[in-house]
Amino acid sequence: MNEGAIPSLLAEAAGAQRDGNPARAKTLYAEVLTIMPKHPGALNSLGVLTLNEGDTARAIDFHGRATIADPHAPVLWVNLARAHRAAHDDFEERKALDKALSIDPTTFTAIVRKGELHERRGEEIEAMQSWQAALAYAPDAQGGAIADVLAHAQDYVRVRLERLSAAMDSGLADVRARASGRLRRVDACVDVMLGKRRVFPNVCAGVHVPFLPADEYFDRDHFPWLGAFERHTPSIRAELVALLETRAPGFAPYVQMAPGTPESKWTPLDGQPAWSAYYLWHYGKPIADAHERCPHTVAALAEVPLVDLPGRMPNVFFSLMKPGAHIPPHTGVTNMRTIIHLPLIVPEGCWFRVGGETRFWRKGEAFAFDDTIEHEARNPTAELRAVLILDVWNPYLTAQERVVLTRSMEIADEVGLSAGTID
């Protein structure tokens, strides 16, 4: 026979395996080897068949020869590892699995076998790493045996993270008690280590200022005027209530998409009053009627360092969420600004998430956040939720940086070219 006969021999051998005739399959694979002694597929298949018969020594020989014939195929190294595992040779099994993973670190079977090996040997740290990798690189199809493997991986990781979390809580108690400053960042770091949260990056659809810290909620220390502004809550709330009671014109759905816009996560809110807004400033322009109706709110805002970019910012508005409304996860357009929420009418249970942290609005307790980090909101109650929303500068921008950024927007307008969306 010549090499042209190999494909038909391999096909017939594979058919014999499927039909439950391993003896015939072995004979056909052996014929392939008489034509091409280093055929990796035939060697590998003979290794599988002999291992199934319990002949580990011959299986290791076949699989070893297959890896020599084709050293760049991860599956061949995984099968060699399986044979060494059957021979209870942990050292050689580890070597073969490491070789498979050096070729392709995402080889799922090799990752799983490493997890099982480490777990069997009581190597908890290494097993933990392998099972976490298995969860990260799991194939999309997760039925049958794969589902069982992933369930085991999840359970293994969960139990050990719970143990580590308890140790962290007790072990860090004294350090936290002695700390004089805020520990929000390092607490978040520990939570990431424990798998309790993930890190969310800035995602700017418009102007992105590089190198600014991607902070979900800004510390109040950045806004020394915030406490004084909060004291205006009763008068601001009273003006909003008057607008609602008199059905003042100006409230409109926040989401208004152009006709023909493809369906998206915003479609359920398009043109709907479930989320609506009443603007006092819109794209930097003061709304005269709103200023006349809300003089106390306007006076309170005069004490706030709003962003001043004509034609762009500030945006200041009362944001209403009707009962059951949900604002889906989304990101804003520029990290030049910081968004301030001043809660005015907040039924208990209304929540707001930025990145990995969820907060509940509390009437009169303002907070600042970076809206270029994924955020969402929900009003699960049977009552209206209302918040005053306004734009101020990102606190990490210096005064000089603000001047340059403002001038860059002015130049863009002067030459009639867009410098990036920021509204």
What are the pLDDT tens digits along the chain (423 aa)?
A: 578 888 999 999 999 999 999 999 999 999 999 999 999 999 999 999 999 999 999 999 999 999 999 999 999 999 999 999 999 999 999 999 999 999 999 999 999 999 999 999 999 999 999 999 999 898 876 667 899 999 999 999 999 989 989 988 898 888 888 887 778 888 888 888 888 888 899 998 888 999 999 999 999 999 999 999 999 999 999 999 999 999 999 999 999 999 999 999 999 999 999 999 999 999 999 999 999 999 999 999 999 999 999 889 999 999 999 999 999 999 999 999 999 999 999 999 999 999 999 999 999 999 999 999 999 999 999 999 999 999 999 999 999 999 999 999 888 888 876 655 555
Q: What tokens does 166 get?
A: 């308890």
**pLDDT of res. 139:** 85
pTM: 0.74
Report which residue type is found at 258: A
Which one, of 91, 43, 50, 36, lies nearest residue 71 by Cα?
43
**pLDDT of res. 177:** 86
Q: Give the model confidence (pLDDT) of 294-313 as tens digits.
A: 999 999 999 999 999 988 99
Our CA angle for 168, 173, 175, nearest 5°, is 100
**pLDDT of res. 415:** 83
**pLDDT of res. 184:** 83
How many angstroms separate the CA atoms of 65 and 83, rounded?
A: 13
**pLDDT of res. 351:** 98
- Residue 362 phi/psi, 5-degree rounding, is -130, 130
Burial zone of 377 (CB within 10 Å; 0-12 exposed, 13-18 middle, 19+ buried): buried
**pLDDT of res. 16:** 92
Q: Is the peptide bond before 314 cis (omega within 30 degrees of 0)?
A: yes
Residue carrying structure tokens 């809110």: 269
**pLDDT of res. 206:** 87
CA dist 16 → 12, 45, 124, 388 (Å): 6, 12, 42, 74
